[in-house]
Amino acid sequence: MMPSRKSFYGCRGQHVLAILSTITLLALAGCGGGGSEVTNGGGGSSSSSGGGGSPPPSGSNTAPTISGSPVTTTVAGRAWTFTPTATDPNGDRITFEIQNRPAWATFDNTTGRLSGTPSAANVGSFANVVISATDGTGRSSLPAFSINVSAVASGTATVAWTAPTTRSDGTALTNLAGYRIYYGVGPNSFDNVIEVNTVGVTNFVVENLSAGTWYFAVSARDSTGAESGLSSAATKTIS
């Protein structure tokens, strides 16, 4: 999970840093994929049934709702995890079920969490995985999804940014301490973090990227630990 950042005006009254003004993504020669810059990337979730409107009549049962968008690519030797979100309009206890669970993954019937670390022997596609939520009477399911396990993670991407000089209130930033590069395989799934502790560094080569589209964003932090918001996301597709 992405490490939490301090509140916008936290850290003993000091303002957090201004959001980084730019982030660009450059393709490296021999990466095997094109690079492009995308801003304001959005995420999504899926749900098999809705739970809005008026509460159900007394004595009736409404099936639970379930939502979530699992990451569908990973690489051998890298941990993979997904936990859906489910609610029940009647307040009934929810349990989870799964169909076509990959042999390398474990499933928690209480939380719906599917997780595991595929090995080199698990390279391939694991299709038609279906996670459902049930209250014992009604059931809702996420759309079937696949998990594609790649053998080699050899792609690279260069992330570059512009160092901030002011805080969010317009005052000078005099104690910049470094940056954090967040990246992952979804627009809101920054599961990996790289610490850059040299203030003068404003670009970094991210290595060991598997095939697929990767999303990158950068934050800045000061010597007190206060951290800015994330920059706009940039993407690169590794083939």
How far is the C-alpha of 160 from the C-alpha of 158, rounded, in Å?
Answer: 6
What integer best gives the mean pLDDT of the chain? Answer: 80
Domain span at 129? 46-150
Instruction: Give pLDDT, residue 118.
Output: 95
The CATH number for 30's domain is: 2.60.40.10
Residues 6 or more apart in contact with residue 202 via CB below 8 angstroms:
160, 161, 162, 163
Instruction: Give pLDDT, residue 16.
Output: 38
Q: Do 212 and 132 share a domain, yes or no?
A: no
Per-residue model confidence as pLDDT tens digits over 148-160: 998 866 789 999 9
Q: Do 50 and 125 share a domain, yes or no?
A: yes
Q: Do 164 and 142 share a domain, yes or no?
A: no
Instruction: Give pLDDT, residue 29.
Output: 31
Segments in the chain below pLDDT 70: 1-59, 152-153
Per-residue model confidence as pLDDT tens digits over 31-62: 444 333 333 333 344 444 444 455 555 568 89
- Which of 239, 211, 196 has its CA nearest to residue 23? 196
